[in-house]
Every structure is written in C-alpha cells, then in structure tokens.
Amino acid sequence: MEIGYWVHVDHLRRGVATAAARALLEAAIELPDIDRVEIRCGAANGASAAIPRKLGFRLDRVDEKARSAPGESGRLMVWVFERPACRRPGR
C-alpha cells in the first residue's frame, strides 16, 4: 500500500503531514493483508523526506523519473515500512 500527503503552504511546518502520515500508517498496518507501506517523494524535497524518516520507514531505493516541474530533481525516493513479523496475524 502507498500513502501520501500534501499540505497547503499556509500550514507547513506544523506537524500536519507527519500526523496524517502516522494515522494512515497505523490504519494500514491494522489491515490484515497489508504487510508493507510505501511513501514516495522527490529526492529534492527534504521536508517531505523527513516524514517517513521520523515514522521509522527505511529508504528502499531511489528511482529515476521524468521531471514534470522545474523544481524536481528527476529522482524519486521510495520509503518502506514493513509490519513486524510478530504483528502479522497467524504468526
């Protein structure tokens, strides 16, 4: 499953995206068939990349992608959170 977030410029740096991503992550890992959650963000977006880092995601890879806006680097970070084995149903 992939989760994402956008925050209006008037509400940046207030923890809104972190709180939203945390709530989505907690809901996702409670679903019985979800063992892996991803967050993808542009490599040039340090503020966005800080969120998965805070929530315990690990950087899985950096993919190349076509630029669609002037501020993009053409690199997409893929962050992964995997549900611990001890929390998987039936194990």
pLDDT, tens digit (0-9, with 9 covering 90-100), for 70-81: 666 789 999 999
pLDDT digits (tens, 9 = 90+) for 49-67: 999 999 999 999 999 877 6
Look up the pTM and report it: 0.82
**Three-state SS for 51?**
helix
Inform me whether the pLDDT recorded for 15 exceeds 60: yes
Residue among 4, 22, 23 at smallest CA distance from 77? 4
Strand order in the sheet with 75-82: 36-42, 75-82, 58-64
3 with 25: CB under 8 angstroms? yes
Q: What is the CATH number of domain 9-87?
A: 3.40.630.30
